[in-house]
Amino acid sequence: MPFTALGLRKPITDALEELGYETPSPIQTKAIPAIMEKRDVIGLAQTGTGKTAAFTLPLLDRLSGDSRTRTKGEARVLILSPTRELAAQIHKAVKEYSKNLAIRSTCVMGGVSIKPQIRALNAGVDVLVATPGRLEDLAKQGAIDYKTVETIVLDEADQMLDIGFMPAIRRIMGACKNIEQRLLFSATMPKEIKQLTKQYLKNPVEVSVAPVSKTADKIEQSVMRVNAGVKISAVIHILKSHENKRVIMFCRTKRGADKVVKRLKHEKLDAAAIHGNKSQNQRVKALEAFRNGSVPILIATDIAARGIDVPGIELVINYDLPQVPEAYVHRIGRTARAGASGIAVTICAPEEEDILRRIERLIKIQIPTMEAPADLPMPAPLPRGIKMAGNNRGKPQRSGRRPPRQNSTVKKGAPKKGKAPSILEKAMSAVDRAEKEGSFANEGNFSEPQKPKARNRGNNNSGNKKGGQGRRSGPNAEGGGPNSSNKRSNSRPGNRNNQSKRSNNNF
């Protein structure tokens, strides 16, 4: 079926043709008509299958048919993203898809100067892509007129409705009193979060094209079991046997990511790190160098696990297992995008077997074992006292803000002692607390909630079992949210510059 059959205007289909999009992907085929009918939508589809276009194209189509003078602070479509990198990427897609339209869009995020963002909003925009923290900063300064928002999109919706981001999302949605349409898109949707979405959506249509949390069929997954102390040797072995490939490797901690980079450089493997302790300028540079191929290996925390679309990533390595099973789906989804194929290797220490089992239960696949080389050496000390990654002394990398502390008072209906509270329970208690503090004053048109120096130490380097049990997400550490500390740079995020014509194997 061609894009024209979906009723999209010619300037849009012309732009798609230029991008090499021939036919809509399954999520696009299902979601675009529902969005055009102004329905609330939950869109669930595997990573890399065209979700951005699925929600952007019909919204652009609507906006282009209804031109009018923009007012100060106006933003008719508000797209919220958990990370700055993803926000920049979505905005780039918006610009590409709307290149033949008189649509004005902008992107606001932390870590860069707020002044140009205020100037852009003063003129009013049709589409605003934002990270929640900076959006709220702008709102406090009166730069955004929430009443003009007609459509709100939560990309990576399960993360946005998770405990770290939820208070901000509720405040924003509550302040947008004239919302006519809400769209939630993600590749994963834990049951508890899905339950929450019912409070935010009105009579939603659910469009899903594959079982939720399914990993792409074209990813060849494997797990290599080694002791934590020799993980780096295992990784070097894998990298050397995949020379000249574009590789992204995920570490649990920011500090661990930096140390892996140092170790790889020592081995003459060129790598850059991207994580929440880097300035926005460094983050942009690392991602750009990776995109343009000048640095072939990107070492990332879960900041880069969701949504980031760098064509040509052939290998994903999980140096540490993620803290929550869903993150695995997003991490390995950095490869095999838009119909391509890819490889994902997970390095698993004995103490990480538990989270590996939870991942396998989630994706309903037993990940095949890759034999580890028998003679993996313990890493030698690095010059100048550089210590190795893989220990658990660095902070576990969250994909966002630290969840608020739980109130220690046991309340009626609270989870029994000893039983970990469910995500829903944790989320609701955060909401309760915020409501008491009055931070959800404007509920608007939303229904009320129902309420190594691990070196040579052998096998205990990467485990952080306790940390691995909780769901973590939120705006600050990574995503440019309200507490983000990287405010030094004024540079804007880089753009993908190797967008190529795509074949439509899966599209």
Structure tokens given for 285? 């540079």
Name which of 51 and 331 has its Cβ closer to ligand AMP.
Answer: 51
Interface with ligand AMP (CB under 6 A), residue from 12, 29, 30, 48: 48
Sequence-ordered strand ranges (E) for 100-168: 105-108, 125-130, 151-155
Closer CB to ligand AMP, 79 or 236, in the complex? 79
Nearest distance in Å: CB 4, ligand AMP:
13
Residues 6+ apart with CB under 8 A from 219: 316, 332, 335, 336, 341, 342, 343, 344
- Secondary structure string (H, E, C) spanning 201-245: CCCCEEEECCCCCCCCCCEEEEEEECCHHHHHHHHHHHHHHCCCC
Q: Which C-beta is closer to ligand AMP: that of 275 or that of 337?
A: 337
The first and second tokens of residue 98, run together, are: 């709307």
N-to-C CA span, the chain:
10
What is the per-residue binding string for ligand AMP in 264-303, x denoting contact by CB under 6 A? Answer: ----------------------------------------
Query: Which token pair is 337?
Result: 């995008």
Closer to ligand AMP by Cβ: residue 21 or 446: 21
- Do 102 and 200 form a contact (C-beta atoms < 8 A)? no
Binding test (CB under 6 A) with ligand AMP, winner from 26, 50, 400, 449: 50
Q: Is 502 in the site for ligand AMP (CB under 6 A)?
A: yes
Q: Which of 86, 81, 170, 176 is nearest to 134 (CA)?
A: 81
Site for ligand AMP in 420-439 (CB under 6 A): none
Residue 337 within binding range of ligand AMP, rule CB under 6 A: yes
Any idea what DSSP says for residue 421?
P
**338 binds ligand AMP per the rule CB under 6 A:** yes
* Smallest distance, ligand AMP to C-beta of residue 404, A: 31
Under rule CB under 6 A, residue 304 binds ligand AMP: no
Q: Provide DSSP, 367-413.
A: PPB-PPPTTPPPPPPPGGGPPPS-SS-SPBPPSSPPPPPPP-SPPTT
Segment lying near ligand AMP (by CB under 6 A), choices 43-51, 65-73, 111-119, 316-324: 43-51
Instruction: Indicate whether 504 belongs to the interface with ligand AMP (CB under 6 A).
Output: yes
d(C-alpha 94, C-alpha 52), whole Å: 9
Cα(481)–Cα(193) distance, rounded to whole angstroms? 20
Q: Is residue 309 within the footprint of ligand AMP (CB under 6 A)?
A: yes
Q: Which residue number, 412 or 501, has a Cβ lying nearer to ligand AMP?
A: 501
Contact segment (CB under 6 A) with ligand AMP among 51-59, 258-266, 289-297, 361-369 equals: 51-59
96 or 267: whose CB is closer to ligand AMP? 96
For residues 108 and 114, what is the distance between their CA atoms, to the nearest angstrom? 8
Phi-psi region of 287 (alpha: psi -120 to 50; beta: other; left: phi over 0): alpha
Least distance (Å) from ligand AMP to the CB of residue 233?
A: 34
Selected from 13, 29, 49, 221, the binder of ligand AMP by CB under 6 A is 49
Q: Does 319 bind ligand AMP (CB under 6 A)?
A: no
Nearest to 318 by CA among 218, 189, 255, 231: 231
52 belongs to the binding site for ligand AMP (CB under 6 A): yes
Determine the Cα–Cα distance for residues 33 and 29; give it in Å rounded to an integer.
7
Q: Which of 30, 39, 51, 62 binds ligand AMP (CB under 6 A)?
A: 51
507 binds ligand AMP (CB under 6 A): yes
CA atoms of 435 and 412, how far apart (whole Å): 18
* Binding span for ligand AMP by CB under 6 A among 50-58, 219-227, 352-360, 433-441: 50-58
Which CB atom, from 31 or from 260, has the smaller least distance to ligand AMP?
31
Residue (71 or 504) nearer to ligand AMP, CB: 504
Q: Does 81 bind ligand AMP (CB under 6 A)?
A: no
Nearer to ligand AMP by Cβ, of 330 and 337: the residue is 337
- What the block records as the tokens of 399 is 């994909």
Q: Which stretch binds ligand AMP (CB under 6 A): 49-57, 156-164, 169-177, 354-362?
A: 49-57
Count of chain residues binding ligand AMP (CB under 6 A): 16
Q: Which residue has the tokens 């939560």?
A: 154
Residue of closest CB approach to ligand AMP: 50
DSSP-derived letter for residue 269 is -
- The answer to whether the beta carbons of residues 251 and 301 sit under 8 Å apart is yes
Return the residue of 34, 35, 53, 219 that touches ligand AMP, per CB under 6 A: 53
Which amino acid makes up residue 205?
A: V
Residues 6-25 that bind ligand AMP (CB under 6 A): 21, 24-25
Strand partners, 273: 299
Stretch that binds ligand AMP, among 48-56, 116-124, 411-419, 469-477 (CB under 6 A): 48-56
* Min separation Cβ 189 and ligand AMP, Å: 15
Min CB(317)–ligand AMP separation in Å: 21
The DSSP H or E segment spanning 41 is strand 41-44
**Residue 181's beta-bridge partner residues?**
151
Q: How many CB atoms lie within 10 A of CB 420?
A: 10
Instruction: Give the footprint of ligand AMP on this chain (CB under 6 A).
Output: 21, 24-25, 28, 48-53, 309, 337-338, 502, 504, 507
